[in-house]
Structure 1
C-alpha cells in the first residue's frame, strides 16, 4: 500500500468517526423473523436489527379471580374482564420505520415508526 493510499484510508476513517450515526428510512417486509427493506436498496434481517422496547408488542394479562360475598351471596369477578389487553401493537408488515445506522454499519437501531 502506498503512502497516498494509506492517507486516503485514514481520512475516510476520520470522516466516518465524525458521523457516528446515519439516519435511514425503511419498510417492514416481514415480522417473524423481522426484515426491513431500506430505501428500496437492500433488506436487513433480524441479525442486523436492534428493536427498541417502544416498538415491541406488549400485552398485559388481566386474568385473575377473586370471590367476594355481597348480601350473603357469593360472586366471582374473573369473568368480567378479557384475558389480555394489548398496550402496544408492535411492528407490522408495511410499517415505515426510522433506522439509525450504528458506526461501522453492522447494526441498525429500529428507532420509531414514521407516520406518512
Structure 2
C-alpha cells in the first residue's frame, strides 16, 4: 500500500509541476485547411476552436507607404497610314437634272465612268506604345501566409492544453 501511495504522490506532484508550466513548445502538422486542423503527436487533432494564429501563418492585410513607379510596358501596334492612289485612264461624268414644273423640286443624278486602272499604296507603320506611372501614399497589401496541408508548424501550448498558439512554419 505504501508503494501505491508513493506512486500516487509522485503522479500528483508531477501533474502539479506540469500544470505550473505556463507554456510548452509542441510541433504539429497541418492536416486540414477548411476548417483548419493541426495534428500533434499523431493522436491529438486540434481544430480551429483550440488554435490561435499569428500573422506568420495566416493571410492578412498590411498598410505600407509607397513611392514607386511601375515598370514600363512596351507594345507595338501595326497601323495603316499614308494611303495614296494613282489612276491612269479616262473618266467621264454625266449629270442629269429633272425639274418638276409644278413644284420647286429638282432631282439630280450623277454617273461617273472610269476606264483604266487604279494603283493604291498603303504604308504599314509600327507605332511604339509605352506606359508607366507613379503611385505614392499609404496602400493596403494582402500578405499570402495561409497554412497549407502537410506543412509542419511550431505551437505553444498554454491554458492547461486548452489553447495552442501556432507561431510559425518549421523549415527543415
Task: State whether TM-score is above 0.5.
Answer: yes
- Structure 2 match to 1:33: 35
Q: What TM-score comes out, normalization by structure 2 length?
A: 0.45
In structure 2, runs of 5+ residues without a counterpart are: 1-5, 63-130, 134-139
Q: What TM-score comes out, normalization by structure 1 length?
A: 0.63
What is the rounded CA distance, in whole Å, between the counterparts of 1:10 and 1:25 in structure 2? 26
Structure 1 or 2: larger strand share? 2
Are 1:14 and 2:16 matched, yes or no?
yes
After TM superposition, give the deviation of residue 53 of structure 1 in Å: 2.1
Larger Rg: 2
After TM superposition, give the deviation of residue 16 of structure 1 in Å: 2.4
Deviation >4 Å, runs of 4+: 6-10
Are 1:107 and 2:148 matched, yes or no?
no
In structure 1, runs of 5+ residues without a counterpart are: 61-74, 78-83
Higher relative contact order (CA 8 A, sep 6+): 2
How many pairs does the alignment contain? 94
After TM superposition, give the deviation of residue 44 of structure 1 in Å: 0.8
For the aligned residue pairs, the C-alpha RMSD in angstroms reads 3.1
After TM superposition, give the deviation of residue 55 of structure 1 in Å: 1.3
Are 1:88 and 2:144 matched, yes or no?
yes
